[in-house]
Amino acid sequence: MVIAIIGAMAIEIEYFLREIGYKEKIVKNGYSFWLSEYANKQIIIASSGVGKVATAILSTTLVNLFPKLDLIINIGVAGGVKGKTKIGDVVTFAKYAYYDADATHFPQYVHGQIPGYPAYFEGNSEFLNLCKEFTGQIQIGMVLTGDLFFTDQEAIEAVIAKHFPLDNVISLDMESAAFAQSFNHLGFPFASLRVISDIIGGLSDEYEKNLAICSEKACQYLLAILKKM
């Protein structure tokens, strides 16, 4: 089994590289890919950079280099929705959509939908089932992605209430839905596992204070999941 693990930032994959090491490093299109092994699986570790465009470039580079991937997993931290999550919660997603995509001028589209693509992208069902085995430890919901580090609680609550009222939105980030779209288009299974580093609208220094420890926690949980595969 060949699995790629991608963090947006280097700090989000540092724990993996430190814990399991690597045998080879390949550089392509400005990206580094570390080749390793864990739990009888071939592991490829990479950092994409932040945002939707960086995500798409990394995704195409990855599958061109490694066309026989069985699963791609995005790892890292995310912002939490107040009342749904708290700092340190481990989350994964059944649904992925954009909060900043709006083609609703045309009646066939809903908010968050990119023309030519579904209203939302689905997480890999096998990965979700494995997460369910960690009873009460991993929360499953919907993530919204956009090119904005959201800090306005009232603004995001308004977006959710208006456009995603029934979707159990628990988290926001800047990459997950873009990865989901990229790998949906390219025909590869995808999942995201994140840890809540800050609550949207919370204290201004929450993210910086929790980034390192929450990144490590996400990696620790993913290592446990990989053992079950």
State the catalytic residues. 12, 198
| Closest residue by Cα to residue 22 from 10, 9, 37, 11 | 37
DSSP string across 65-95? H-TT-SEEEEEEEEEEPBTTB-TT-EEEEEE
The C-alpha R_g of the chain, in whole angstroms, comes to 17
The CA–CA distances, whole Å, from 194 to 32, 94, 107 equal 21, 13, 34
Q: Say if residues 30 and 62 touch (Cβ distance below 8 Å).
A: no
- What is the C-alpha separation between 4 and 21, in angstroms, rounded? 14
Q: Say if residues 4 and 44 touch (Cβ distance below 8 Å).
A: yes
For residue 164, count other CB atoms closer than 10 A to its CB: 19
